[in-house]
Amino acid sequence: MSQRIKIKALLESEQTGIDIKINGWVRAFRQNRFIALNDGSTNNNIQIVVDFENTDPNLLKRITVGAAISVTGELIASLGKGQKVEIVAKDIEILGDCDPEKYPLQLKNRPSLEFLREIAHLRFRTNTFGAIFRVRNSLAFAVHQFFQERGFIYLHTPIITASDAEGAGETFHVTNFDLANPPKTESGEIDFSQDFFAKATNLTVSGQLEGELGAMALSDIYTFGPTFRAENSNTTRHLAEFWMIEPEVAFNDLNDNMDLAEDMLKYVIKYALDKNAEDIEFLTQRLTEEEKQKPQNERSEMSLLEKLQFCLDNDFERLTYTEAIDILKESTPNKKKKFQYPVEGWGTDLQSEHERYLVEKHFKKPVILTDYPKEIKAFYMRQNEPDANGRETVRAMDILFPGIGEIVGGSQREERLEKLEQRMDEMGIPKDELWWYLDTRRFGACPHAGFGLGFERLVLFVTGMGNIRDVIPFPRYPKNAEF
Ligand code: 4AD
Ligand code: MG
């Protein structure tokens, strides 16, 4: 297998007349003569021409869709149209048969995304999922490159922790107990002091709190790892296991934080556009086709490619929560009672219908909302002075994207010990358990800020897919942990 050339390199090569070896999976075999072979390096297949009159019929029978084969042959300038080069086979070896009677992935009748989710172990073999996972790979690499170019330290924060960073109580427990018979305390509660870690632990919902500890010495850090939420949200935007990128920067305020987030998003989108032009072109066509099924007024005005370019070319709109509420109150859908949740007063959280109105209808571009009411945000956000009406807000920011809603959530952090402790008391966050977090406010505290980017929401945006379950290889969501 040593000298195999990948199909992507082959299709770009100008050098014909040489003998080469390629391996891959059969996508199609027409007229006992033309094999379309794919190895995942590109969406394009290489055509292999088989001299069927001089080939063993038993071998021909085994060249079926899905079979893994190895081909040695001569690379020639293609006689047909659609490709520059093709291969005239000299030797074909079947590496792995694929019984067409049993193979569930018959690409003839385009399988639905729902069906492909049930055979997620095989869906990598379709053009759509090949493109998605190559784009996902590029985005992940670009995230690292962006931060590394700027001198950030990649910090690995723990997956198992005893804290609920967001204080939302949506954690998955981690325990070694025999669930049928856990040790109990005298008062009848489960006695976690006897558990593996001698305390109750869970999978992390965010690496932020530990990230802040790192930033208080290393200045600029980022995490990029899996996070877990046991929220029972059966939506196209939520996963129970998702990847999050969380930078945390000492000496940054909220404006610096917004600049960093906007720069990062533009950088990684640009990287994917350059690196994965063919895949994004393919996904753009896929989306356009899909949208043809929708009524005219529900189709997007821009193609996927145009949307991505538009996002690069325009400044994100920045405004406060209070300004957004005023816009929403006066909006046509609110006045005509078209919102499921009418916008009446100040202080309630925005629903995704409101976020989408702001982004897709009102501003028609990405939006950064800041300074949310403190009651609807986490304990660690920096408290603003009450405004003239006595309204209390925090230095929060959410970035909202078209078709996605919230893609980034972040804030300037409360670095003043008294303010932080007071807020933790008000919200019932146990201070003794977070002694280490509070220590950073005791020893050389400084202003700092950070945010979390939901990686799958980014991949959703860049691939134009409609369901977050289709942009992670093996999605975890309520009632599903297959594969
Ligand atoms: O807004 P969230 O909850 O913020 C935090 O976790 C902060 N600790 C981040 C920080 O300041 N360091 O989550 C951040 C982002 C959201 O904006 C969203 O993109 C994504 O994570 N997200 C999810 N993505 C998929 N499935 C879920 N269940 C998600 N929950 C949040
Ligand atoms: Mg959030």
Whether residue 367 contacts residue 359, with contact meaning beta carbons closer than 8 Å, is answered with yes
pLDDT tens digits, one per residue of 16-58: 999 999 999 999 999 999 999 999 999 999 999 999 999 999 9
What lies within 8 Å, CB to CB, of 196 at 6+ separation is 174, 175, 176
pLDDT of residue 477: 96
pTM passes above 0.95:
yes
Encoding tokens for residue 182?
Answer: 């856990």
pLDDT confidence of 71, banded at 50, 70, 90?
Answer: very high
CB of residue 166 inside a 6 A radius of ligand 1 = yes
pLDDT confidence of 141, banded at 50, 70, 90?
Answer: very high
Angle at 81 between CA 77 and CA 82, to 5 degrees: 100
pLDDT of residue 296: 87
**Given phi > 0 = left and psi -120 to 50 = alpha, else beta, which region is 219?**
left
pLDDT of residue 212: 98
pLDDT tens digits, one per residue of 412-433: 999 999 999 999 999 999 999 9
Of 348 and 247, the structure prediction assigns the larger pLDDT to 247
Rounded-to-integer distance, Cα 12 and Cα 87, Å: 14
Phi, psi of 143 (to 5 degrees): -60, -50
pLDDT of residue 182: 96
Q: Which of 368, 455, 457, 465 to mutate to test the pocket of ligand 1 (most atoms within 8 A of CB)?
A: 457
Count of Cβ atoms closer than 10 Å to residue 214 Cβ: 20
Q: How remote is the CA of residue 351 from the centroid of ligand 2, in Å?
A: 12
> Would you say residue 1 has pLDDT above 70?
no
Question: What mean pLDDT is reported for the chain?
Answer: 95
Phi, psi of 149 (to 5 degrees): -60, -25
pLDDT of residue 109: 77
The separation between the first and the last C-alpha atoms of the chain, rounded to the nearest angstrom, is 29
Residue with the two structure tokens 């942009």: 471
Of 325 and 107, the structure prediction assigns the larger pLDDT to 325
Helix axes 304-313, 254-275, angle to 10 degrees: 140
For ligand 1, what atom is nearest to the CA of residue 406?
Answer: 17
The number of residues in the chain equals: 483
pLDDT of residue 108: 74
CB of residue 404 inside a 6 A radius of ligand 1 = no
Going by C-alpha positions, the residue among 408, 402, 373 that lies closest to residue 387 is: 373
pLDDT confidence of 241, banded at 50, 70, 90?
Answer: very high
Q: How remote is the CA of residue 238 from the centroid of ligand 1, in Å?
A: 10
pLDDT tens digits, one per residue of 165-218: 887 779 999 999 999 999 999 999 999 999 999 999 999 999 999 999 999 999
Q: Domains in the chain, please, with CATH? A: 7-107 (2.40.50.140), 127-170+205-470 (3.30.930.10)
Which ligand has the minimum distance to the alpha carbon of residue 166? 1
Whether residue 399 contacts residue 458, with contact meaning beta carbons closer than 8 Å, is answered with no
Whose alpha carbon is nearest atom 26 of ligand 1? 238
Percent of the chain with pLDDT over 70: 100
Per-residue buried b or exposed e for 172-211, using 16+ beta carbons within 10 Å of the residue's own CB? eebeeeeeeeeeeeeeeeeebeebeeeeebbbbbbbbbbb
Q: How remote is the CA of residue 166 from the centroid of ligand 1, in Å?
A: 9
Which of the residue ranges 207-211, 243-247, 293-297 would you say has the lowest mean pLDDT? Answer: 293-297
pLDDT of residue 106: 82
pLDDT confidence of 284, banded at 50, 70, 90?
Answer: very high
Which of the residue ranges 79-83, 94-98, 198-202, 258-262 would you say has the lowest mean pLDDT? Answer: 79-83
pLDDT tens digits, one per residue of 331-350: 999 999 999 999 988 999 99
pLDDT of residue 464: 98
Q: Which of 157, 242, 398 to mutate to test the pocket of ligand 1 (most atoms within 8 A of CB)?
A: 242
For ligand 1, what atom is nearest to the CA of residue 468?
Answer: 25
For ligand 1, what atom is nearest to the CA of residue 239?
Answer: 26
pLDDT of residue 204: 97
pLDDT tens digits, one per residue of 111-124: 999 999 999 999 99
Phi, psi of 131 (to 5 degrees): -65, -45
Whether residue 355 contacts residue 400, with contact meaning beta carbons closer than 8 Å, is answered with yes
CB of residue 407 inside a 6 A radius of ligand 1 = yes
Q: How remote is the CA of residue 311 from the centroid of ligand 2, in Å?
A: 21
Q: How remote is the CA of residue 229 from the centroid of ligand 1, in Å?
A: 10
What lies within 8 Å, CB to CB, of 100 at 6+ separation is 64, 65, 66, 106
pLDDT of residue 2: 54
Encoding tokens for residue 469?
Answer: 């379950």
Whose alpha carbon is nearest atom 30 of ligand 1? 238
Which ligand has the minimum distance to the alpha carbon of residue 455? 1
CB of residue 454 inside a 6 A radius of ligand 1 = yes
